[in-house]
Amino acid sequence: MPYPARPVPDPLPQFVGTATVRQTEEQREALLSFVEKGYREGRSLRELAALTDRTQTAIRRALSERGVALRPRGAPALEG
């Protein structure tokens, strides 16, 4: 029995179509701020990519540009 597909959120209106055109400094800053804040709040690279209409690689680059350390891969270890 296959697992159901993972839900993919629609991109937020402020980011739709901005990946394929030259961004203004204000748009780039808004993207970087959103990605950094979302990642620090616990959102995944996959979720941030979907919300911003970007690839996961673009999200990694944005976080690197901001100096944000990436979390280890996989789910957190269970305690107990």
Q: Considering the domain boundaries, does residue 42 fall inside one?
A: yes
Q: Which of the pair, 78 or 58, is modelled with greater confidence?
A: 58
Q: What is the pLDDT of residue 62?
A: 95
Q: Of 51, 24, 14, 22, nearest to 35 (Cα)?
A: 51
* 38 inside domain: yes
Q: Which residue's structure tokens are 């944000």?
A: 68
d(CA 47, CA 53): 10
Read off the tokens for 31: 């993207």
pTM of the shown model:
0.83
pLDDT averaged over every residue in the chain: 90
pLDDT-derived band at 37, boundaries 50, 70, 90: very high
The pair of structure tokens assigned to 77 is 């270890």
Q: Are the C-beta atoms of 63 and 36 separated by less than 8 Å?
A: yes
**pLDDT tens-digit series, residues 10-27:** 999 999 888 888 888 999
The answer to the question of residue 14 being in a domain is no
31 near 15, Cβ under 8 Å? yes
Domain count, the chain: 1
